[in-house]
Amino acid sequence: MKKLSAIDKLIFFINSIVAFLLILGLVGQFISPNNIPLISFLGLASPILIICNVLFAIYWMLKFKKQFLLSIFTLIICFSFISKFYGFKEKKVLLSTDVKIMSYNVRMFNLYNWIDEENIAQNIYDFINKKDPDILCLQEYHSSAKIGFKYPYKYVKTSEFKNHFAHAIFSKYEIVNSGSMNFSNSNNNALFVDVLKDNDTVRVYNVHLESLKINPKEEELTQANSEKLRLRVQNAFKKQANQATLISNHIKSTKHKSIICGDFNNTAFSWVYQKLKGDKNDAFEVAGKGFGKTYDFKFPVRIDFILTDKAIEVNNFKTFKEKYSDHFPIMARVKF
Would you place residue 219 in the very low, low, confident or very high pLDDT band (cuts 50, 70, 90)?
Answer: low
What's 295's DSSP letter? B
Residues 64 and 155 in one domain: no
Q: How many CB atoms are closer than 10 A to CB 178? A: 19
Percent of the chain residues topping a pLDDT of 90: 71
Residues 294 and 202 in one domain: yes
Domain membership of residue 1 (yes or no) is no
More confident residue, 325 or 27: 325
* Cβ–Cβ under 8 Å, residues 272 and 40: no
Q: How many domains does the chain have?
A: 2
Q: Is the predicted pLDDT of residue 79 greater than 90, yes or no? A: no
**Looking at residues 80-91, what average pLDDT do you find?**
87
Residues 36 and 62 in one domain: yes
Q: Is the predicted pLDDT of residue 60 greater than 70, yes or no? A: yes
* Cβ–Cβ under 8 Å, residues 106 and 141: yes
Question: pLDDT digits over 3-38, tens only?
Answer: 899 999 999 999 999 999 999 988 888 999 999 888
More confident residue, 298 or 1: 298
Residues 214 and 306 in one domain: yes
CB contact set of 5 (below 8 Å; sequence gap of 6+): none
Say what the pLDDT of residue 224 is.
Answer: 60
Average per-residue pLDDT in the chain?
A: 91
Q: How many CB atoms are closer than 10 A to CB 52? A: 18
Question: Could you tell me the residue range of the domain that residue 21 belongs to?
Answer: 6-82
Please give the helix or strand (H or E) that residue 165 lies within, else none. strand 165-171
* Cβ–Cβ under 8 Å, residues 270 and 210: no
Residues 184 and 68 in one domain: no
Q: Which of 260, 318, 335, 305 is nearest to 127 (CA)?
A: 318
Helical pair 6-28 and 39-62, crossing angle rounded to 10 deg:
140
Domain membership of residue 89 (yes or no) is no
Would you place residue 2 in the very low, low, confident or very high pLDDT band (cuts 50, 70, 90)?
Answer: low
Torsion on CA atoms 148, 137, 179, 181, rounded to nearest 10? -120
Alpha helical stretches, state H, the chain: 6-28, 39-62, 68-77, 79-82, 107-110, 120-131, 226-252, 271-277, 283-287
Would you place residue 83 in the very low, low, confident or very high pLDDT band (cuts 50, 70, 90)?
Answer: confident
Say what the pLDDT of residue 216 is.
Answer: 56
Question: pLDDT digits over 220-273, tens only?
Answer: 555 566 777 788 889 999 999 999 999 999 999 999 999 999 999 999 999 999
Q: How many CB atoms are closer than 10 A to CB 293? A: 18
Say what the pLDDT of residue 229 is.
Answer: 78
From 48, 82, 116, give the residue that closes a domain: 82
Least confident of 56-70, 83-97, 198-212, 302-316: 83-97
Domain membership of residue 90 (yes or no) is no
Instruction: Tell me how many degrees the CA angle 144-297-222 measures, rounded to the nearest 5.
Output: 105
Q: Is the predicted pLDDT of residue 47 greater than 90, yes or no? A: no
CATH code of the domain in which 185 resides? 3.60.10.10
Domain membership of residue 92 (yes or no) is no
Residues 78 and 125 in one domain: no
Residues 20 and 134 in one domain: no
Residues 234 and 327 in one domain: yes
Residues 225 and 308 in one domain: yes
Residues 17 and 146 in one domain: no
Say what the pLDDT of residue 75 is.
Answer: 92
**Looking at residues 175-194, what average pLDDT do you find?**
94
Q: What is the pTM assigned to this prediction?
A: 0.91
Residues 46 and 140 in one domain: no
